């Protein structure tokens, strides 16, 4: 789990909360491209990336804006488990990936 510096209680969820659902991409111009490698689509129990997709195994929220997922993903003939940590902006128009301590990676909600 990522330490964010805020003391928000972790809550186990059955599905991904609705405020995170939608199509996200690297920028708003990429939203109209069918071949954008930065796109992913979040629904209640799945995430579809450019070349992989998967189902939720675990959902934990920290307040209304932080989401911690364990996913079972498959793509290109392989299956694997991955963990993700996302932070939703206050206006819910951008989603920042804070996974594995890597640099922050922002995607934007497509209209």
Name the pTM for this structure: 0.85
Long-range contacts of 76-82 (CB under 8 A, 24+ apart): 76/51, 76/52, 81/57, 82/54
Q: What is the pLDDT of residues 11-70, one digit of tens each?
A: 999 999 999 999 999 999 999 988 899 999 999 999 999 889 999 999 999 999 999 999
SS3 (DSSP) at 20: helix
Count of domains observed in the chain: 1
Q: Does residue 15 belong to any structural domain of this protein?
A: no
For 68, the domain range is 21-109
d(CA 85, CA 77): 25
Domain presence at residue 51: yes
């Amino acid at each position: 789990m990522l330490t964010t510096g805020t003391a928000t209680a972790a809550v186990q969820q059955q599905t991904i909360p609705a405020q995170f659902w939608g199509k996200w991409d690297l920028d708003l111009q990429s939203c109209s491209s069918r071949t954008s490698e930065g796109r992913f689509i979040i629904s209640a129990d799945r995430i579809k990336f450019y070349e992989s997709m998967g189902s939720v195994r675990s959902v934990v929220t920290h307040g209304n804006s932080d989401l911690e997922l364990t996913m079972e993903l498959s793509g290109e003939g392989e299956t694997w488990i991955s963990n993700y940590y996302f932070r939703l902006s206050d206006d819910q128009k951008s989603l920042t990936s804070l996974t594995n301590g890597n640099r922050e990676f922002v995607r934007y909600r497509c209209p």
